[in-house]
Amino acid sequence: MLQHAVLLALLGSVVGCRQAKEVPAQSAPISSDRRDPLTEISAATTSEAQPLRECPAGTKLIHGGALEMVHRTLMPGSYEWEEKRTPAQVADFCMDETEVTVVAYRQCVDSGGCPKPGSGGRLCGGFNWGVPGRESHPINGVDWAPAAKYCERAGARLPSEAEWEWAARGRDEARKYPWGNETPGTKHANALDPDCNKELLANSYMIPGPSLYSSPDGFVGTAPVRSFPAGASRDGIFDLAGNIAEWTATSGDAETHIHKGGGFTSTDIAVSGRTNLGDGHPSTGMGFRCVRDAPPRP
């Protein structure tokens, strides 16, 4: 997890992202058809939250419950890890089946509602914005505030850390990974493999060490969403482990927010993993998905 935290900070600041300076303007609602992987968009499709009778297409209903979160967090400015046990109660909610894609985020940018994300870069694929053929990849290089704004405009929100973990652990099944307790393999998730690790080591982005996998997982950088169906959660949510780490609405401290799940540069993709990242540091390894409140139980 230390490697993961260092990588996110370095990839965000050194790879070469740039953020648009324009202030987001109000715009028309976002619409989509998530059944086409090249036109997928985040689950919520209206600019204002509306009462729900059922979860929207492209989302899954996650029934709530009680959980105890056990987290080891890297303390800022040190190499010490702090473990905390935190009880939480989660209400029913609807979660996007996939991370927000490039094509979905582009619709928000083109309508004037979202700032442009980071772009460019070369290591392990760099940023996805503006790269032909990556329309169905997760958008990366989006800082916390634009991610939260995107979800808000869609009538949704970023998940709390408790909601994210409850969904990823299979609710009361308390899985170690979204798919269960089986050791991660290349069929489960897009995590650090030898191809990406070789690039990182050659450019001094990582202390030499083993990759999570001994063989390539098929993607040097991000992968199109839904590329690892064997790694889906109990409720059918994709890429909760690997691909990109995901912002949550939960603050780490006054200047950071918690992100979960690990990404394509991660060697630790367990559900309990968590890292703080300061706002204002978009990274190639960071993205997000949205949730919304579920309708009342009948």
21 inside domain: no
Q: Bridge-partner residues for 88, per DSSP?
A: 67
User: What pLDDT score does 205 carry?
Assistant: 65
Contact indicator for 185, 96 with CB cutoff of 8 Å: no
Strands (E), 91-138: 93-96
Please state, as a whole number, how many other Cβ atoms lie within 10 Å of the Cβ of residue 295.
13
* 279 pLDDT tier (thresholds 50, 70, 90): confident
Query: Percent of the chain, pLDDT > 70?
Result: 76
CATH number at residue 160: 3.90.1580.10
Amino acid (one-letter) located at 84: K
Q: Which of 3-12, 148-157, 272-281 has the highest mean pLDDT?
A: 148-157
18 inside domain: no
Structure tokens at 92: 């029913």
Report pLDDT digits (tens) over 51-63: 545 899 999 999 9
37 inside domain: yes
Structurally, the chain folds into a number of domains equal to: 1
The CA–CA distances, whole Å, from 133 to 4, 128, 129 equal 27, 9, 10
129 inside domain: yes
Q: Would you tell me the crossing angle of helices 102-110 and 144-153 to the nearest 10 degrees?
A: 80
Report pLDDT digits (tens) over 237-275: 999 999 999 999 999 887 899 999 999 999 989 999 888
Q: How far apart are CA 264 and CA 212, in angstroms?
A: 10
Range of the domain at 239: 2-13+27-293
In degrees, rounded to 5, the angle at the alpha carbon of residue 222 between the alpha carbons of residues 221 and 228 is 120
User: What pLDDT score does 81 carry?
Assistant: 61
Query: Would you give the end-to-end CA distance of the chain in angstroms?
Result: 42
19 inside domain: no
Report pLDDT digits (tens) over 195-234: 999 998 888 665 556 899 999 999 999 999 999 999 999 9
93 inside domain: yes
226 inside domain: yes
- Section 161-187 average pLDDT: 97
Question: Is the pLDDT higher at 202 or at 190?
Answer: 190
Q: What is the pTM of this model?
A: 0.80
Strands (E), the chain: 59-62, 65-74, 81-90, 93-96, 245-253, 256-260, 274-278, 286-287, 291-293
* 128 pLDDT tier (thresholds 50, 70, 90): very high
Q: How far apart are CA 139 and CA 153, in angstroms?
A: 17
Report pLDDT digits (tens) over 27-53: 334 433 444 433 344 444 333 444 545
66 inside domain: yes
Report pLDDT digits (tens) over 77-127: 555 666 778 899 999 999 999 999 999 999 999 999 999 999 988 889 999
Contact indicator for 264, 219 with CB cutoff of 8 Å: yes
Structure tokens at 34: 């998530």
User: Among all chains, which residue has been given the structure tokens 């992202």?
Assistant: 17
Please state, as a whole number, how many other Cβ atoms lie within 10 Å of the Cβ of residue 81.
12
